[in-house]
Structure 1
């Protein structure tokens, strides 16, 4: 099947996500879809697919073709039976210039399915070398675990396979990592195995991505339908036992502009794009929520040497009973989080009724009511403060640059 046409700016303004129906004949074992369009003027068309039973994959603007087969599919798409009947290619008119964009869509069918791994071949030698863990106090028998709650793989627009990303996390010294590919859950079946291989707890996640803002959902086995209103994302995530977080609420054209009927309890206040941390708008955004938000951080890592260049910058610390997905999610849900610029360096942790400032010589502790006190640690680099106020504490330099947050 081949379809040629032109999308105009008016088409995008009327309806951004378009569907192209096609019939899959009986006996089909694999579908291949190819999209070609003129991107020279800055046009961007997104790509996805749905079968008779619903969602089968999404790659956004990261790919111009995909395969869906019985045994294996292109990363971002779900493998499995290819039932006959009415299917749809999803075309997202993400950027359409005034002069329009010409496109061509080609769909082919095969009665034979290739058996190719969905996790594109990245292999690392064993054993993995991990840096030593930080010496942090236990709190009521719980331990602090270091992780990154926002990262991407080849299942959306990342450069590394799941194995490659988990290997990098281990070598960075992270205990856990949320794999949050855009608008898909095709990476879920591979996480448990790679957790076992690398020793890093991989949290199943998805970044629900639209032009009005992004949100992370962790721990939900269900695909979150990005076509629905954002308040429904939150309700669906909570009903499925997952957590919902507003991502980088102030990050350029990805800033959060959705309307929510319920206040979000978690927000990615510290995103890699907070380059000038004397800029106080992320803190001001958090203060606009009367009940407060649980602060988390995310590197939004895509590729080594890219932007951001480093996984685990910032690091989110979670106080949990153990380093398992349920325990980590429980810790975040309960607000037992802290965020620091990196795994080493200044850190602020809530330990019961006290705060521990670690490696914070010369910094300033800022309380929720904005009163301040200088940090003068003991020879071991530690100082305790009473944690009598509700809300978020932080460490700053004398120039008001944020270096650590604590829920």
Structure 2
């Protein structure tokens, strides 16, 4: 059975520069209604020695990983088994490092690519030379708390959009870069929902659950939000099949049209965010720019529109409205892709 499950994908403990232990971090994540976290301490996997015990004690899934923290950028490696060194790689050698992660079955993500760098944060700003963007699995397009209003995140979001427009299928996620206790945070927190198969969490099945999360990151079955969960699907008028987030629509007829359905689940983690009753705007964005706008609310939480699919490469939904005293993007989905067959 597939479910949408909330994750935090960028976390730290006192094994690097965080304030808390893995157990304290996991307990805080449970209090926030999260299903799982990725453990991504800087250049170490040592907190994962406690992983099995902490998972058993808290019921929280912990995905193995690390934040490759270098002079030329920070790269998240998620789903790896063993520690990976970066010190033999120069600014032109990032693809060799990516290959090491992929060889272990993991995925790589560019962390906070436009965060202010040295001397405030050595290597935070991404400077590695990427010769083939197909090697990049995801970009952390939202980072830190209340991420939508930060200029560095807006630049990262535009980078992601530019890559999608060029035909690259790269996932977009959020990462809190969680270092401090939640009790010190007053700003909104974004989470990454992954659509994945789930099972009863007996110990032998945890690795299967980890693989499912890594596959979701690789495949882009992802929706990101600071509030309610945003959903989007496409159905071609010439077929009965419904395509979801991260899937590929096979377009045979150039003149084909599609029904796009968007829906907002206001019940998802509802106790962990506040959103005033209002008419929310859902923008349908694509390689052609904005192609539609729909209005949703708690009373009317779903809407459908028709559109022509000729020339479409990708399509995503973005939820906008008044949130935390700002007019901002509240949530976005990853793309549904289109493959034009003529």
Question: Do both share a fold (TM > 0.5)?
Answer: yes
Which has the bigger relative contact order, CA under 8 A and spacing at least 6? Answer: 2
8 Å contact kept, 1:298–1:312:
no
Distance 1:258 1:386, change over 3 A: farther
Q: Do the aligned partners of residues 174 and 305 (structure 1) sit closer, same or farther apart at CA in structure 2, a change above 3 Å counting?
A: closer
Mapped to 1, the partners of 2:177 and 2:183 lie a distance apart of: 11
1:152-175 Cα shifts (integer Å, max 9, x gaps): 011111111111100111111100
Q: Is the 8 A contact 1:230 1:260 kept in 2?
A: yes
- Provide the C-alpha distance between the structure 1 equivalents of 2:223 and 2:57, rounded to a whole number of angstroms: 27
> Any unmatched runs of 5+ in structure 2?
118-123, 200-208, 234-241, 244-260, 267-277, 335-342
Q: 2:128 aligns with which of 252, 258, 263?
A: 258
- Give 1:336's aligned residue: 221
**Correspondence 1:144 to 2:7:** no
SS at match of 1:325: helix
User: Which whole-Å deviations, capped at 9, do the CAs of 1:332-368 have from their partners, x for residues lacking one?
Assistant: 1111001111xxx333123543432334832232322
Alignment of 1:166 onto 2:21: no
Whole-angstrom CA distance in 2 between matches of 1:335 and 1:207:
20
2:280 is aligned to 362
CA displacement, residues 137-158 of structure 1 (integer Å, 9 cap, x when unaligned): xxxx310000100010111111
How much has 1:310 moved relative to structure 2? 6.9
Structure 1 residue runs of 4 or more that deviate by more than 6 Å after TM superposition? none
The residue correspondences of 1:179-198 to structure 2 (distance < 5 A) are 179-198=39-58
Q: Does structure 2 retain, via aligned residues, the 8 Å contact 1:212–1:256?
A: yes
Aligned-residue offset at 1:255: 1.8
**What is the correspondence of 1:36-185 to structure 2 with a 5 Å cutoff?**
141-185=1-45
Q: How many residues align?
A: 263
Q: CA deviation at 1:292?
A: 4.2
When residues 311 and 326 of structure 1 are mapped into structure 2, their CA distance, relative to the original with a 3 A threshold, is: farther
Q: What is the rounded CA distance, in whole Å, between the counterparts of 2:160 and 2:197 in structure 1? A: 27
1:249 Cα offset (Å): 1.1
The structure richer in helix per residue is 2
Per-residue CA shift, 1:269-293, capped at 9, x if unaligned?
0111635258742222112212142
**Which secondary structure does the structure 2 equivalent of 1:221 belong to?**
coil
Q: Which residue of 2 aligns with 1:314?
A: 190
1:113-146 CA-to-partner distances (Å, cap 9, x unmatched) read xxxxxxxxxxxxxxxxxxxxxxxxxxxx310000
Residue number among 288, 291, 297 corresponding to 1:371 in the alignment: 291
Residues 311 and 152 of structure 1, relative CA distance in 2, 3 Å threshold: farther
CA distance in 2, matches of 1:186, 1:239: 21
Per-residue deviation, residues 96-117 of structure 1 (Å, max 9, x unmatched): xxxxxxxxxxxxxxxxxxxxxx
**Structure 1 length normalisation: TM-score?**
0.59
1:285-304 paired onto structure 2 within 5 Å: 285-289=159-163, 290=166, 291-304=168-181
Whichever of the two has the greater Rg, that structure is 1
| 1:350 corresponding residue in structure 2 | 232
How many Å separate the matches in 2 of 1:196 and 1:256?
Answer: 37
Judge conservation of contact 1:396–1:404 (CA < 8 Å) in 2.
Answer: yes
Task: Name the residue aligned to 1:325.
Answer: 210
1:320 Cα shift? 0.1
Give the aligned CA root-mean-square deviation in angstroms.
Answer: 2.7
What is the Cα deviation at residue 376 of structure 1? 2.8
Q: Which moved more, 1:223-232 or 1:161-170?
A: 223-232
Task: Give the structure 1 partner of residue 107 of structure 2.
Answer: 243
**SS of corresponding position for 1:167:** helix
1:148·1:312 contact (CA, 8 Å) conserved in 2? no
What displacement does 1:210 show?
Answer: 1.3
Q: Which moved more, 1:219-228 or 1:385-394?
A: 385-394
1:268 aligns with 2:192: no
Contact 1:158-1:302 at 8 Å conserved across structures: yes
Q: In the alignment, which residue of structure 2 is the partner of 1:126?
A: none
2:263/2:302 contact within 8 Å kept: yes
Counterpart in the other structure of 1:393: 317
Q: Is the 8 A contact 1:377 1:383 kept in 2?
A: no
The answer to which of 162-171 and 287-296 deviates more is: 287-296
TM-score, normalized by length of structure 2?
0.70
Deviation at 1:386, TM superposition (A): 6.5
